Amino acid sequence: MEYPIWQLTTLGGGFWIALIATVHVYVAHFAVGGGLFLILTERAAYRSGNPHLLEYAKKHTKFFLLLTMAFGAVSGVAIWFTIALLAPQATITLIHNFVFAWAAEWVCFTGEIVALIIYYYTWETMNRRDHLMVGTLYFIFGWFSLFLINGIVGFMLTPGEWLQTRDFWDGIFNPTFWSSLVFRSFFSAACAGLFSFVTATRISDEATRTQVLRTCSAWTIAGVLAVVATGFWYMADLPPAQYELVALKSHRVAGFMRWFWIFAGLTLMGGLILALRLPRLMTFPLALIVLLAGQGLFGSFEFIREAGRKPYLIWDYAYSNSILKSHAAVITQDGALARARWTPPDLRNAITDDNRIQAGAFLYQLQCASCHSIGGPMNDIRKRTAMYDTNGMDSFLTGMGKLNTYMPPFLGTPTERMALAAYIAEELNHQPAVEQATIPAPAKATPAPFDPDADTHVLLAWTDQGMAFYAQTDRWTLLPPAITVRAQLILRDPLPEIVTNDITLTYEVDPGFAGENLTGTLAPLEDSGRFEATLTVRPYEDGTFNPLPMATLEARDANGQVLAATRVALPVSDQMGCRNCHGGGWALDGSGISTATADNILAVHDRMNNTDHVTRSRKGPILCVECHDDPIQNARGAGNLPNLSAAIHGVHAVHLAGRDADGSCLKCHPQNTLRGGHDEAGLDCTNCHGTMEDFSIALLKGEQAAGKPGADRLLALIPPRALGTQAAIKPRTPWLSEPDCLTCHADYAAPDTTDAFNAGTDPPAALFATRRDDLGAVHCAACHGAPHAIYPATQRDTTQPAQYTGKPQTIGANGSCTACHQTEMQDAAHHPGMGVE
């Protein structure tokens, strides 16, 4: 924020630091271990009187001088150049806080240069004792240089108490100082053996070459084994947050860890083979292969160390984009463009339709370019965001740095966030906006016949959900296709009776619809005074998406005579909006979750939770209820994880925070979830269920009370909206504790509020779909319709009221009590206030 931006695209994302630093640091470790290797080789040559070994030591010194002093010095300057441009804030922090350490390191480096030059040029003129002493001084200077740099590098990963004290010594002797120092010292020894393989191939005397190669193998093998052993010590010293990222959470780190073990094995194998099988056949290409394996070993370790401190350059102090953590709150409040000193003047005033892409491009360079390239080899932003349109990208940026702590949070205003989203989605990826789901208008359904003068019974039916959505792919099943149909048979009379005994109630879904049990019988539930059956119906009529299938129900007596019949809509949909953020298209023509979308969801789950679902799903679909409880499926998960609703809504609330129902609920749920009277009155999901954040907090608090540890992590990331504090939000269980109608309709009167959140039912009897009137006889939904689709609703939803009242209204309203009672009722028998719309 304080410095100008070095605008890199293809070779951005830390490419130059990764390229220069890994090579330089590899050579720098050789500079330490190789110094010890030189003086021990010289001493061995004097003791054995082997002129070939002494000549090798002289030639190796020249190679050592050129590589460590010439290349090492130049690449070291290149590191300073690149970090100053790519990470100026972190560089300034290191310089200001460790002036003494840098000065001491430069003294040591000067001592290295002087000692090595003297050592190289005095092979023939200086006596043996003094020459070995100069070589020893070089090694001492080199190791103390490693000592100091190790403290500074370790500080960036584990600053420890420095974050509170800002004390020089707390920064240098940080929590991982000693374990890292021993680790790097042993790696320096391994480097000495690896690099010495290269020069040893040029020894002309066969016996001496064999001796040196076996010595190099011993240094390599012992060094690598010690590196692996001390690596566990290093890991044990990591504070919990960094340890969790390295060892448990990050798939990126896991990838580097796999390469670390692969290269460690290759390096050890190479050292063993060269020691035992190929000393006489050793050639320069073979030595180079082993050397490169060692580079891979060290490079993977450096990437693990770098990844272990994400999202920071200096842990808990400076983010990876050089923004200080202490500045985050004011940047979020004032805006990144207002706070950045080098913002172009025409972007400082306001973001408009004309300059939003330009603003997004600057914000990208400011907050993203330090880690991401554009079409390059390092963390290509195009590849990683190809599935997002602008809205999806905005949702990702909203949750960035919260659930996935590998990246820093976006810092800026919502308008700036949307500008960055537009730049990435529209300018870089040319991604058009995801088209909203098209909801077909089903053909009108003909009601079943009803003769109020002759018919003796009334059959009322409804579904447990106003829209039973499901999500099922060949990779996983979140919710299977299922909807429950309920019905009551009423004997018409001035005092009607509920009939369940000696009745057979059948159903048949209209021809053309997909499913498994499209005909069958509803089971009588005498205690509840109703019949019930769960159907497997899919919303496809002759292959065309239709979310409102119709079914015909018939009630017969013991003699098989039809007593009553009715038609009921079975609202089901697989038009879930996962593709909005996870990419892919529809599986079918306008509905269904595609395999591409399903795979992306599994990949995200793996990355966030360290699972292996992508691999497992190739062997068969994964059932989400294998791990997560779900009351609607009567499923108990296998682990101590939040239930399915709490987990899904909790995760998505982090990304969809601050949005209304259209920007959150209806991005995922089918667009025609809410139909009927509440929709016509202008209400939406949030009036009853609360905002996305508050709804999720209620679910997670229920899981927190049940001792599910994952709930705490999500709760810490979701700020409440309606009630101010999480403590004010009551815990609830999904599908069992739902908004209570009487919260708004107190005493069944016209509502004096439109906010039913935080007043859940006492399950299960109070749930609208199973609740009965004040007499304990007729179910509320039998007269009012299904939840989310209360009468009046769409024409198909109101087929049943049209049958009994001739209007799309609540059955019993506006003088329609005669449908069951045969005579007009003067009293509100079922509940107060009934009889009018």
Domain positions in the chain are 15-318, 321-428, 455-619+773-796, 627-737
**CA dist 719 to 408, 695, 726, Å?**
18, 11, 8
Structure tokens at 823: 């005579």
CATH of 15-318 given 1.10.10, 3.40.50, 1.20.120, 1.20.1630: 1.20.1630
State the DSSP H helix or E strand holding residue 702, giving kind and residue range, or none if neither: helix 692-705
Q: CATH: 3.30.1490.20, 3.40.50.1820, 3.40.50.2300, 2.60.40.10. Which one for 455-619+773-796?
A: 2.60.40.10
**What are the b/e assignments for 278-305, b being 16+ CB within 10 Å?**
ebeebeeebbeebbbbbbbbbbbbbbbb
Helix ranges (DSSP H) in 400-510: 414-422
Cα–Cα distance list, 242 to 39, 169, 179, 236, 306 (Å):
39, 21, 15, 10, 11
| E strand or H helix at 459 | strand 457-463
Residue 565: name the closest of 508, 606, 610 by CA.
Answer: 508
Per DSSP, the residues of 347-383 read GTS---TTTHHHHHHHHHHHHTTTT-BSSSSSSBHHH
Residues 270 and 261: their CA atoms lie apart, in Å, by 14
Strand boundaries in 282-436, DSSP class E? 312-314, 318-319
The CATH architecture annotation of domain 321-428 reads: Orthogonal Bundle (1.10)
**Strand pairing class (318-319; 550-556):** unpaired
Q: Which of 313, 269, 304, 347 is nearest to 90 (CA)?
A: 313
Token code pair at residue 745: 């309709």
Q: Of 743, 653, 736, give the one whose Cα is nearest residue 694.
A: 653
- What pLDDT sits at residue 593? 95
- With contact defined as beta carbons under 8 Å apart, do 44 and 53 qualify? yes
Backbone angles phi, psi at 84, to 5 degrees: -65, -35
Could you tell me the CA-to-CA distances from 793 to 227, 264, 809 in Å, in that order? 70, 67, 9
Nearest-CA neighbor of 667 among 357, 384, 390, 386?
390
Is residue 59 left, alpha or beta, with left meaning phi > 0 and alpha meaning psi from -120 to 50?
alpha
DSSP 527: T
Is the distance from CB of 528 to CB of 770 less than 8 angstroms?
Answer: yes
Distance (Å) of CA 158 to CA 125, 150, 235, 401: 48, 12, 12, 19
In sequence order, what DSSP letters do the residues of 9-40 get, joined into one string? Answer: STT-TTHHHHHHHHHHHHHHHHHHHHHHHHHH
Provide CB contacts within 8 A for 286, sequence distance 6+: 201, 274, 278
Residue 243's pLDDT is 84
Q: What is the pLDDT of residue 837?
A: 46
- Residues 492 and 822: beta-carbon distance below 8 Å: yes
Judging by beta carbons within 10 Å of its beta carbon (0-12, 13-18, 19+), is residue 93 exposed, middle or buried? buried
pLDDT digits (tens, 9 = 90+) for 95-134: 999 999 999 999 999 999 999 999 999 999 999 999 999 9
Structure tokens belonging to residue 400:
């960035």
The DSSP letter of residue 523 is E
Closest listed residue to residue 297, CA positions, set 15, 22, 34: 22
Q: Distance from CA of residue 513 to its chain's centroid?
A: 37
The two structure tokens encoding residue 565: 């019949």
Rounded Cα–Cα distance for residues 818 and 829 (Å) = 13
Residue-wise DSSP of 495-520: S-EEE-TT-EEEEEEPTTEEES--EE
257/254 Cα distance (integer angstroms): 5
Give the whole-angstrom CA distance, residue 682 versus residue 779: 26
Those residues of the chain that have pLDDT short of 50 are 837
Write down the residue that tokens 């929590």 correspond to: 175
* Contact yes or no for 483/633 (Cβ under 8 A): no
CA atoms of 567 and 669, how far apart (whole Å): 26
Burial of 436 (0-12, 13-18, 19+ CB in 10 A): exposed
Q: Collapse the DSSP code of 551 into the 3-class scheme (helix H, G, I; strand E, B; otherwise coil) and give the result.
A: strand
Provide CB contacts within 8 A for 182, sequence distance 6+.
Answer: 230, 233
Pairing verdict, β 312-314 and 318-319: antiparallel
User: What global pTM score does this model have?
Assistant: 0.89
What contacts 24+ positions apart, CB below 8 Å, involve 450-454? 450/803, 450/804, 450/819, 452/818, 452/819
